[in-house]
Amino acid sequence: MLGIIGGTGLTQLANLTITGRQLIRTPYGEPSGPLLFGEMCGHPVIFLARHGNGHTIPPHAVNYRANMWALQSEGVTDIVAVATVGGIHETLKPSTVVVPDQIIDYTHGRKNTFYDGVDKLVKHIDFTEPYSEKLIDLCKQAAQLANESLIDGGVYACVQGPRLETAAEINRLERDGATMVGMTGMPEAVLARELEINYAAICPVANYAAGRGNSLHGIKYEDIGAVLDETMHRVRNLIEQVVIIYGH
């Protein structure tokens, strides 16, 4: 079963025919909202809005463990997550879409494992390749069928948020090898790995990161909204093709 997690700018899928919704009780508390069960182009899919239906949950307060547990409990084995980012590398301009293949975690204080020694013994999982190569290839195929450009590969720096970064922090992330910056990629990716769920991310670039491009002297949130309105239309087309290919 394929699960789609929507982030900033994607709290619902207009092309999803909803057949049911259910709020799942989990050992880790409540997820961000009800799971939406439905069909897209005749294929089943489960959708979850990461920040809640009204985008009321900030990145650091998302109950990532409950979200991932709830999806797995309903049979989800593969997840494509949408995660908005700021572009650090010069090729990642606003309105481009990228599928990262690596991640660096700068977050703190988030519940980032199911194996915390409380209800499950400590376990060290391999996280060398944090994203599913199978799902990355599927996203690239979908982009070709949707006739949408997609940047293949990049390093996602996951920061704590909810504030945006300073120019000096972005310089540091770039020195570390990051090409984009976001706030929700972790611990979502590692929790999926612990549950043996294949996971990939589609990342629309909403803005230049601080100190880059037209963000040299600051970032205007209204500009981000305008870019996302245009870019999410393309992301929805891409997801539709992902669902179709996955269904076959």
Q: What is the DSSP string of 203-219?
A: EEEEEEPTTSGGGTT--
53 is an annotated ligand-binding site residue:
no
CATH code of the domain in which 211 resides: 3.40.50.1580
Question: Is 115 annotated as contributing to ligand binding?
Answer: no
21 is in an annotated binding site: no
Beta strands in the chain (DSSP E): 2-6, 17-22, 35-40, 43-49, 78-82, 85-87, 97-99, 102-105, 151-152, 155-158, 180-182, 198-208
To the question of whether residue 179 is assigned a binding role by annotation, the answer is no
Number of domains in the chain: 1
Q: What is the DSSP letter of 55?
A: T
Give the structural domain span for 232: 2-247
pLDDT per residue rounded down to tens, the chain (248 residues): 999 998 765 656 767 888 999 999 999 999 999 999 999 888 999 999 999 887 789 999 999 999 999 999 999 999 999 999 999 999 999 999 999 999 999 999 999 999 987 767 788 899 999 999 999 999 999 999 999 999 999 999 999 999 999 999 999 999 999 999 999 999 999 999 999 999 999 999 999 999 988 766 667 666 777 788 888 888 999 999 999 999 88
Report whether 11 belongs to an annotated binding site.
no
The annotation status of 156 as a binding-site residue, yes or no, is: no
Query: pTM of the entire structure?
Result: 0.93
77 is in an annotated binding site: no
Backbone angles phi, psi at 3, to 5 degrees: -115, 140
Pairwise CA distance, residues 188 & 207, whole Å: 22
Q: CA torsion 55→60→64→65, rounded to 10°? A: -140
Where in 139-245 does DSSP place strands (E)?
Answer: 151-152, 155-158, 180-182, 198-208
